[in-house]
Amino acid sequence: MKTRLSGKSVLVTGGESGIGRAIVLRCLNEGASVVIAGINEEDISKTISDAEADGAKERVSAIVTDVTNSEQVQNAIDLTINNYGRLDAAIANAGAFCVSTPFGEWDIDEWERVINVNLTGVFYVLHAAAKVLVSQGEGGSLIATGSSTGIRPISNLIPYTSSKGGVHQMLRGLAVEMAPHKIKVNTIVPGMAETRPVMTQQGYVEAGLKAVPMNEIVKPEELAAFVAFSLSDEVPHMTGTLLKVDAGRTSA
């Protein structure tokens, strides 16, 4: 086990599967204590079991959390502090995807669902976490999961691309505001990542890879490695950054 994150307490929303799960396991492997905040109890149990099997039983906890509910988000923050004594980082990773649909055919309820999870939910997590980090007065990290589609949009995904573009801008502004407190604020930007929503939408991967110069899907573990690096004390001045791991998609 590496010890680069030893002594740090990290909250990960959407930590039960996909990119979030990879981040949880990587942070634990590097010595952090982690709270998984998610909505799928079966996936939460599986991730907890895997973490315990890796010897992290005393450093991992979980709480069912709907990020569109600010009270549940606060409960997750409180659990982190209660279990591990402090909060060092919050990773707003929980997200919602959507089915490719022409602009004129979008249902308003679907727009609101995606925006509420991907943008408002991120605000709730970072808003609650930032207050704690500022009050502790010892710096820390705030991270959110963005998307290459927030930089280079894909047709027929307006709610998703809009929400992720909003996340990018939110964190740019927040990085400036948090800088005097020595709190790092960064956005991870996956390209075509190997996650359940991406892999199960018919034809999406085949079409999407045509816009990826490396013509490869990004593994969640690679993104998690980048996150662990950004959380570490090795890069105290890395803030306001789009941490792109996209196989060249946003450069093409």
Q: Supply the residues annotated as catalytic.
A: 160
| DSSP-assigned beta bridge partners for residue 89 | 10, 141
What dihedral do alpha carbons 96, 111, 143, 153 form, nearest 10°?
A: 90
Alpha helices in 15-107 (DSSP H): 18-29, 41-53, 70-84
CA dist., res. 28 & res. 54, Å (int): 9
SS3 91: strand
CA dist., res. 238 & res. 161, Å (int): 25
Alpha helices in 108-251 (DSSP H): 108-115, 121-136, 158-178, 196-200, 204-208, 220-231
- Report how far apart, in Å, the C-alpha atoms of 212 and of each of 152, 167, 194 are: 11, 22, 14
